[in-house]
């Protein structure tokens, strides 16, 4: 059941409802991000930066698996965080993560 969220994550990315890289911070500030998925092996500085920004703007964060798993799900290399921009996808991923 836990890996089903990876299917939804890949679908959301292909639908253009995700952002990665520096765009995540912009989307959090603008209130576009509905959920941020963070790899469990993210470095401490990046983790703190993203977690603090999400806390300030009230965006939920899910810490999952590792960067390899997330990167594979969206078809991009070395991604440690993905912002979900669609409420429907965000709700479904949150429900699958428990």
Q: How confident is the model at residue 87 (pLDDT cuts 50, 70, 90)?
A: very high
Residues contacting 54, CB < 8 A, separation 6+: 28, 33, 36, 60, 61
**pLDDT at res. 70:** 95
Reported pTM: 0.95
Range of the domain at 77: 4-97
How many domains does the chain divide into? 1
Looking up residue 91, the CATH number of its domain turns out to be 3.30.1330.30
Task: Report, as an integer, the average pLDDT of 73-96.
Answer: 96
Task: Report, as an integer, the average pLDDT of 36-49.
Answer: 96
Q: How confident is the model at residue 1 (pLDDT cuts 50, 70, 90)?
A: very low
């Amino acid at each position: 059941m836990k890996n089903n969220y990876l299917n939804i994550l890949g679908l959301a990315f292909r639908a253009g409802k995700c952002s990665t890289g520096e765009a995540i911070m912009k989307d959090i500030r603008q209130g576009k991000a509905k959920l941020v998925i963070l790899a469990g092996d993210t470095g401490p500085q990046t983790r703190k930066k993203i977690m603090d920004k999400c806390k300030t703007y009230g965006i939920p964060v899910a810490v999952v698996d590792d960067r390899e798993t997330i990167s594979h799900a969206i078809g991009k290399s070395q991604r440690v965080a993905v912002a979900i921009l669609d409420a429907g996808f965000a709700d479904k991923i949150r429900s699958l993560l428990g």
